Amino acid sequence: MSSSVPNKIPAAGLAVRGFTVSYPGRAEAVGPIALSVPQGAICSVIGPSGCGKSTLLRAAAGLLGAYEGEIAFGGQPLAGSGAVIGLVPQNYGLLPWKTAEANITTALGIARPGLGRREKREAAARWLGLMGIGELADRYPARMSGGQQQRVAVARAFALEPDLLLLDEPFSALDALTREALQERFLANWEAYPATALFVTHDVEEAILLGGIIAVLPPSGAGSPLLLDNPVSGLAPGERRTSAVFFEMTRTVRKAMADLW
C-alpha cells in the first residue's frame, strides 16, 4: 500500500526531493522531505506540529527565499515552470483592504491576465457561491469570521483554475457540519478542475476522505515521509465516510503516525 518516491524526476506532477530549510537561529534544519504526486492527484499531508508542512507549501508557492533540494513540476523546476499556483495559506492570506470579490478578481488579474473585468467578476461570484458565501462578495475580511475568510481563500484558489493547489489546513476554522459540506464541495470542485494538490491537515479522517495519496511526515530530521496509496479515493465521494475501507485506512494511517512520530 505504501509507494516510494522514484529517483528520476517524473515528467508530470509534483516532485519534491531532499527539501531542507535552515532557518536562522534555529539549531535543526526542517526536513529532509521527499514526495511525489502524480499530475491531477491530491496528496494529503499529515505530520506533527513543526515538522515543516507550512514551510514546504510556502516554498512550493515561491514564498520562501532559500532552501536546499528541489521542487519540480511537470519535470522542471517549479519556479520556472509557468504553473499557475493556487495557495490557501494558514492565515488565509486575504488582502484586508479589498472585499471578498476584489480579493478574487485581483488574484485573477495576476494569474490570468487575459481575463476581462466582467469575466473576473463572474468567476468571483461563481466561486463564492460554490463555497456558500455568495452574499459576502462586498464584505471586507475584518468583518468576516475566520471560517468565512477561509472559504474566500479557498474560492480564490479555485477561481484561478490552478495547475497546482496548495492548501494549508483550509477547513480548520469551520464547524463540523460546514467542514463536511465543504470537504464534499472541495472534491466536486477538484473533479471539475483536477489540479495537482497538496492538502495539509491535522485531521486523519479529512486526509483519508480527500487524498489519493497520504504523506505521513515524521518529525523534522527523523527520516523520510511515508507515502500511502489511499484506496478510499476510488470510491464515490458520498460513499467514502461510511465504507469499511475508510475505517481500515484510518487504522493504517494512525499506525503510521504512531510508528513515525
Q: Is 44 in the site for ligand ATP (CB under 6 A)?
A: no
Using the minimum distance from each CB to ligand ATP, give the nearer residue, 184 or 205.
Answer: 205
SS (H, E, C) the chain: CEECCCCCCCCCCEEEEEEEECCCCCCCCEEEEEEEECCCCEEEEECCCCCCHHHHHHHHCCCCCCCEEEEEECCEEHHHCCCCEEEECCCCCCCCCCCHHHHHHHHHHHHCCCCCHHHHHHHHHHHHHHCCCHHHCCCCHHHCCHHHHHHHHHHHHHHCCCCEEEEECCCCCCCHHHHHHHHHHHHHHHHHCCCEEEEECCCHHHHHHHCCEEEECCCCCCCCCEEEECHHHHCCHHHHCCCHHHHHHHHHHHHHHHHHC
Q: Is 233 in the site for ligand ATP (CB under 6 A)?
A: no
Identify which range of 45-53, 94-102, 231-239, 248-256 contacts ligand ATP by CB under 6 A.
Answer: 45-53
Report the residue from 55, 103, 105, 196 that binds ligand ATP according to the rule CB under 6 A: 55
Identify which range of 11-19, 22-30, 187-195, 237-245 contacts ligand ATP by CB under 6 A.
Answer: 22-30
Identify which range of 48-56, 93-101, 143-151, 248-256 contacts ligand ATP by CB under 6 A.
Answer: 48-56
Q: Is 86 in the site for ligand ATP (CB under 6 A)?
A: no
Using the minimum distance from each CB to ligand ATP, give the nearer residue, 47 or 141.
Answer: 47
Q: Is 87 in the site for ligand ATP (CB under 6 A)?
A: no
Q: Is 143 in the site for ligand ATP (CB under 6 A)?
A: no
Q: Is 49 in the site for ligand ATP (CB under 6 A)?
A: yes
Contact residues for ligand ATP, defined by CB under 6 A: 23, 26, 30, 47, 49-55
